[in-house]
Structure 1
Amino acid sequence: MFSNSVFMKEEATSNAQENRKVGDTGKASGQYENLIKEIGQNFKVDGYQELIKDADSIVLVPDSVAGPQYGDGGLYPRQKNLIYKNKSNGAVILLSISKTDNSVQGKQWSHSIGYNAKLYNSPEGDYKDAYDEIFPSTDVYLYSFEGAGYSISLTSLAQPMMAEEGILALNQLAQFTDKLNAFLKEKHF
């Protein structure tokens, strides 16, 4: 089902970097590499600490969808993952950037989905038949959008609690996304 293991870090760093160099061609590659460099070196959000830095963090995907993903054109050589943690409110933001062949003018949304633990795992309410203590009490929200030559997915995880403007995980995701978008505009991505 998987090429190797569920998560690789050190070994993935050298393989992904080698493959990224081999598979890169044209303007889109340069744009993607510049985007990764700018975000890695200059993108900061108050209260958040980025954990991965320059290392590659790869979450392996099932080979059954599109075959092994190590080689040229595969997911691993054309993806960068970053993890941001906020100690003041406990929110975690996962940021994944992939190089694509799309020719989107400006940006366009791809996906948005969320899981509110108090709503979807409550002994009362519309979904009470699916309630069980085994399910985690964590809110999870995802945004995904595309720009010219890249795709970005952002996922927010937090304990179910309310922030000033609504659900903490969703509020943090929206604010983080706004800051990332402003950064991308400033850097002309």
Structure 2
Amino acid sequence: MEIGKRVHVKYLMFLSIILLLISCQSNHVSSNSTVIDIDKFNKRYLDIKTNFSLDGYIEITEDWAITNLVRKFKDSSDSEHSLFQENNKTLVYKNESEGIVVMVGLSPGIEEKFQWKNALSYSSGFYNATNEDSGITKGYSEIYPNTDFLIYNFSGKELNASIVLIADHSRDLHNTEFLPEFIKYLENIN
């Protein structure tokens, strides 16, 4: 009887482990298998390219197919990498009166609700300061450009967006209307 109980317990443990593995595998598949609608992405990209405008800014890429080359991650397949590059679109807006260049990078996303991913800025007057009262003086050199930039990364409406604002350090990038107007446009896109 004792041997029968041990076999029965081992059998139940074995069966429990199998069921646990099956459960984990099915959860893993369901949480990682998100289908991205490339046609919807391309429609939204063309809508933005064709219809988004802001006074003072012109979109300059016209019919150019801008390709951003990126390094392949070690564990990604060639097809995944090629698909990313193919679906990574770039628009460039210029505001001549303000001396501001805005680059917009778009790729397919999964989030419908808008959410910030990260932001980054570089101020040449702060990060390459000539005196400590103005910012960081370590590594100061006149060789570094007097260019400032802001980078905003967010997702929403099934898009991933990166916006880079670039200007001479004398321009105030923080008060440009481009970002809020672009987000307002995206909120209403179909």
TM class, shorter-chain normalised?
0.7 to 0.9
Q: Which residue of 2 aligns with 1:169?
A: 173
Q: Could you say if the C-alpha distance between residues 156 and 69 of structure 1 is closer, same or farther in structure 2, counting changes exceeding 3 Å?
A: farther
State the alpha-carbon separation in 2 of the partners of residues 27 and 99 from structure 1: 7
State the alpha-carbon separation in 1 of the partners of residues 78 and 92 from structure 2: 22
Q: Could you say if the C-alpha distance between residues 66 and 151 of structure 1 is closer, same or farther in structure 2, counting changes exceeding 3 Å?
A: farther
Give the CA RMSD over aligned residues: 2.3
Correspondent of 2:142 among 133, 139, 152:
133
Mapped contact 1:40–1:54 kept (Cα < 8 A): no
Q: Which residue of 1 aligns with 2:85?
A: 76
State the alpha-carbon separation in 1 of the partners of residues 73 and 81 from structure 2: 18
Q: Residue 104 of structure 2: SS of its match in structure 1?
A: strand
Are 2:53 and 1:44 equivalent residues in the alignment? yes
Deviation at 1:29, TM superposition (A): 1.9
- Normalised to the residue count of structure 2, the TM-score between the two structures is 0.73
Q: Which moved more, 1:150-159 or 1:178-187?
A: 178-187
Show CA shifts across 1:134-156 (max 9, x none). 11100011001101422000000
Q: How does 1:27-38 map to 2 (within 5 A)?
A: 28-38=37-47
Q: Residue 178 of structure 1: SS of its match in structure 2?
A: helix
Structure 2, unpaired ranges of 5+: 1-34
Q: Which residue of 2 aligns with 1:178?
A: 180
State the alpha-carbon separation in 2 of the partners of residues 105 and 71 from structure 1: 22
Are 2:112 and 1:112 equivalent residues in the alignment? no
Are 2:152 and 1:143 equivalent residues in the alignment? yes
State the alpha-carbon separation in 2 of the partners of residues 105 and 78 from structure 1: 18
State the alpha-carbon separation in 2 of the partners of residues 182 and 40 from structure 1: 15
Mapped contact 1:109–1:146 kept (Cα < 8 A): yes
Q: Could you say if the C-alpha distance between residues 113 and 147 of structure 1 is closer, same or farther in structure 2, counting changes exceeding 3 Å?
A: same
Q: Residue 59 of structure 1: SS of its match in structure 2?
A: coil
- Normalised to the residue count of structure 1, the TM-score between the two structures is 0.73
State the alpha-carbon separation in 1 of the partners of residues 78 and 139 from structure 2: 36
Aligned AA (1:140): F
Q: Which residue of 1 aligns with 2:128?
A: 121
Mapped contact 2:150–2:165 kept (Cα < 8 A): yes
Deviation at 1:160, TM superposition (A): 1.1
Percent identical among aligned pairs is: 25
Q: Residue 133 of structure 1: SS of its match in structure 2?
A: coil
Q: Residue 118 of structure 1: SS of its match in structure 2?
A: helix
State the alpha-carbon separation in 2 of the partners of residues 76 and 35 from structure 1: 17
Mapped contact 1:47–1:88 kept (Cα < 8 A): yes
Q: Could you say if the C-alpha distance between residues 63 and 139 of structure 1 is closer, same or farther in structure 2, counting changes exceeding 3 Å?
A: same
Q: Could you say if the C-alpha distance between residues 161 and 67 of structure 1 is closer, same or farther in structure 2, counting changes exceeding 3 Å?
A: same
State the alpha-carbon separation in 1 of the partners of residues 107 and 155 from structure 2: 9
Q: Residue 61 of structure 2: SS of its match in structure 1?
A: coil
Show CA shifts across 1:80-109 (max 9, x none). 101111110110000000013x2x241100
Count how many residue pairs are aligned between Structure 1 and Structure 2: 155
Aligned AA (2:128): N
